[in-house]
Structure 1
Amino acid sequence: MPSVEEELVRRLLARDGRAMTEFYQLYHAALCAAVRRLLRNAHTAEDVVQVGMLKVWQGIALYDPAQGRLFTWAARICCNSAIDYLRTGRHQLATRTGGLDNAGAHALAVSGFQPDHIGVADLLQGLRPEYRQVMDLVYLQGYTQLEAAELLNVPLGTVKTWMGRSRELLGRMPL
């Protein structure tokens, strides 16, 4: 007999809208809590989780149960959406303009974004050297995790662990 999660995945793959509603009801609060730790703003976290939920719905075919639980996969998507939000500089504009995606402000942020504008390099200085190095490679220089692992000559799992710990530490740092 399939587990509740397996059945939910099957229904999501079948594009059952009610399954997405169930998914939302099951995981929304936990996903918001995870994203809120990164963004430190409940309203923005809610908006980012909504973007993440849409990505889950659109990308469910990419989910591989052999790689982990559905919640873990969704949490990674939502947290990566939060990091993308921070990296684009939209959070500064959202703070000033009162919205997540003011179209004009978003266009300005993306076209002129420099990581130093939001102090990312300064924030990374508070991390251990190996954490700082992997975060710089992946988030500032645009390497994939696999490419970073090869450049650093460490296993991919180590890069993922360092990135997870870095995000956790960065989420606790005062801005």
Structure 2
Amino acid sequence: MQAHDEAAFSYLYDHYSKALYTVIYQILPQPELAEDVLQDVFVKIWQYVGSYDAAKGRLYTWMLNIARNTAIDRTRSRDFKREAQTTALTENVYNQEGGLHGSISDIGLKKTLEGLPEESRRLLQLSYFQGYTQEEIAKMLGIPLGTVKTRIRSTLLQLRKLVGTNR
């Protein structure tokens, strides 16, 4: 990948596009928009693969962060907000049962999240899958910002332990 080998890039796309799309779709439950963001994600992966450091984590985690951040950035864009005001959302990711676009259970995440307390799952849902900032979560739940930060950090540590035991 770092040598910009097209075969390596094709391999990554073939093996990881569905999982990345699923994460993007959790944040942007509009198929066309999620596909557009997925394309942007792979362009970024291609452009910035030189910045990937295997010592800091797995390639999949690095790509997942790019996908999540790109999707969240799109939700914060002016065009997205304007379109959201004029377009009714007719599809709901939670109402789809294994449709064309899959779900978080397709990548084993749902099973792993079930090992967390309900409050922890809710914080992850708001923060990572719906794209709310910690400040927005604090206001929404009526709890101090520091508490939100501490709980999310604790939840991520719990999740890391769960993922380590499920390998």
Could you tell me the TM-score, scaled by structure 2's length? Answer: 0.54
Residues 15 and 30 (structure 1 numbering): CA distance in 2 closer, same or farther, change over 3 Å?
same
Percent identity, please: 30
**Amino acid in structure 2 at the alignment position of 1:40:** P
- 8 Å CA contact 1:35–1:45 kept in 2: the answer is yes
What is the rounded CA distance, in whole Å, between the counterparts of 1:57 and 1:132 in structure 2?
37
Higher relative contact order at CA 8 Å, sep ≥6: structure 1 or structure 2?
A: 2
What is the rounded CA distance, in whole Å, between the counterparts of 1:131 and 1:39 in structure 2?
28
Structure 1 match to 2:34: 45
- The Cα RMSD (Å) is 3.3
**Amino acid in structure 1 at the alignment position of 2:9:** M
Q: Does 1:158 align with 2:147?
A: no
Of 125, 134, 142, which residue of structure 1 is paired with 2:139? 125
- Residue 12 of structure 2 aligns to a residue in which SS? helix
Structure 2 match to 1:26: 15
Structure 2 match to 1:56: 45
Note the residue ranges of structure 2 that are not aligned, 5 or more in a row. 88-131, 160-167
Q: How many residues align?
A: 110
- 8 Å CA contact 2:138–2:145 kept in 1: the answer is no
Q: What per-residue deviation string (whole Å, max 9, x for no partner) do you get for residues 77-97 of structure 1?
A: 011011111112322334448
What is the rounded CA distance, in whole Å, between the counterparts of 1:80 and 1:43 in structure 2?
18
- 8 Å CA contact 1:39–1:45 kept in 2: the answer is yes
Residues 91 and 124 (structure 1 numbering): CA distance in 2 closer, same or farther, change over 3 Å?
farther
**Amino acid in structure 2 at the alignment position of 1:130:** L
Of 80, 86, 106, which residue of structure 1 is paired with 2:75? 86
- 8 Å CA contact 1:125–1:132 kept in 2: the answer is no
**Amino acid in structure 1 at the alignment position of 2:31:** A
Which structure has the highest helix share of the two?
Answer: 1
**Amino acid in structure 2 at the alignment position of 1:85:** R
**Amino acid in structure 2 at the alignment position of 1:78:** A
- Residue 40 of structure 1 aligns to a residue in which SS? coil
What is the rounded CA distance, in whole Å, between the counterparts of 2:82 and 2:147 in structure 1?
26
**Amino acid in structure 1 at the alignment position of 2:139:** Q
